[in-house]
Amino acid sequence: MNENLKQDLNKKAPERTMLIAQLLFKEKPKEVAFEEIKETVEDILGETEGVTNSPKMPIFSLKNYRTNFKKEDGKEYNSEIDNGDGTISVPVMVNFIIGEELKPLDDTLTTSQFWDFRGNFSDFKYHTTVFGMLSDAMEYKEQAELFLKEIETAVKCFPTAEAIFIPHSGKLTDVNYFKDGMKYDLAGRFIRTAVNARFFRIENSDDFVVDTLGMFAFGMPDVQVHFHGLKPDDVVNYVYNIASYQFSEEFPVKSGDTIDGLDESGHISADIQWKARYENSLVQPLREVLDVNCGEYAAGKRN
């Protein structure tokens, strides 16, 4: 990257957010009948009720995916949703917005980080959006599983889509990359699809920052390494591995813990231990990250 990027650390990431995916098309996608979409949704996500059968914005209530909320004092609730413990159980709704014109992405910081896609975002002219309303209140692994199934459903319904864009993380991937990733475990599939490893060189220095962007959607920390003297590709693979471990094991690393580092060949080694701690990110959006102090390769001021 030769272009200097300006950032604004007053721009904060939300504490938690709904997961949204955009399927991208070069030509306007063909219309798909409501019943055909419903059949595909039920094949992947289970029994549904059609909330609206609008051809442009179909919405389905999912009986197998529910979110719990506290009851409001003095309000009566249907016995079908009342859990009897002061909470109610509400089904998540999967929403599609079909065949909208795609606006240009005027965000250089985001477009500079499309490492997993060969092609130009500007080649795409239309998008279909899919998301689960109320899903952001779910347990994070269940939310991630639902999100991936929503994308799988959309890909089957709209086979002319060529790419998938995840707005919250700026991750852009080929549809076939998503399909190939379905063979991995939940952490692997989610990170391949919705977590972006970004790479920045610090101006007027030989220092670099590699971080992940995407875990904040669950209210969980991303990963960051501020370094010099390491191969950036090795560090990218490293932060993906740490993010996958954190996701799979329910974010067990605590501030002050040591974690496996990289050896001279760029492989993760238990013989090398690097200290980690939680702090604010160096690159926007401002959010909590697990910063890994990579010993002799660490850059920046550290206590």
Select, from the ranges 28-42, 46-60, 71-85, the one with the highest average predicted confidence (pLDDT): 28-42
The pLDDT of residue 205: 84
Q: What is the pLDDT of residue 237?
A: 98
What integer pLDDT is reported at residue 88 of this predicted model?
A: 82
pLDDT at 5: 67
- Judge whether residue 80 has pLDDT over 90: no
DSSP letter (8 states) at residue 29: P
Residue 262 CB-half CA count within 13 A: 25
* Confidence (pLDDT) at 11: 85
Q: Taking the model in full, what pTM does it have?
A: 0.92
**Residue 72 pLDDT exceeds 80:** no
DSSP assigned state of 264: T
Task: Calculate the average pLDDT of the chain.
Answer: 93
pLDDT score of 283: 94
Q: What share of the chain is helix, strand, coil (3-state, %, to 5)?
A: 25, 35, 40
Percentage of residues in the chain having pLDDT higher than 70: 95
Q: Per-residue pLDDT for 110 more than 80?
A: yes
As a whole number, mean pLDDT of residues 269-282 equals: 97
232-246 per-position pLDDT tens digit: 999 999 999 999 999
Closest CA to 135 of 180, 162, 161, 168: 168
Q: Between these two residues, 192 and 10, which has the higher pLDDT value?
A: 192
Query: Would the pLDDT of 303 be above 60?
Result: no
Chain Cα centroid distance, residue 86: 32
Residue 95, amino acid: N
Burial of 51 (0-12, 13-18, 19+ CB in 10 A): middle
pLDDT digits (tens, 9 = 90+) for 121-173: 999 999 999 999 999 889 999 999 999 999 999 999 999 999 999 999 999 99
In this prediction, residues 61-82 reach a mean pLDDT of 79
**pLDDT (0 to 100) of residue 83:** 77
> Tokens standing for 246?
């954190």
Predicted local distance difference test score (pLDDT) of residue 152: 98
End-to-end CA separation in angstroms for the chain: 30
User: Stretch 212-222: mean pLDDT, rounded?
Assistant: 97
Give one word for 287, left, alpha or beta, with left for phi > 0 and alpha for psi -120 to 50. beta
At 1 the pLDDT is 45
CA torsion through residues 229, 230, 235, 238, sign: negative
Q: Give the strand pairing for 222-227 and 288-293.
A: parallel
Cα angle for residues 246, 175, 219 (degrees, 5° grid): 30
pLDDT at 79: 60
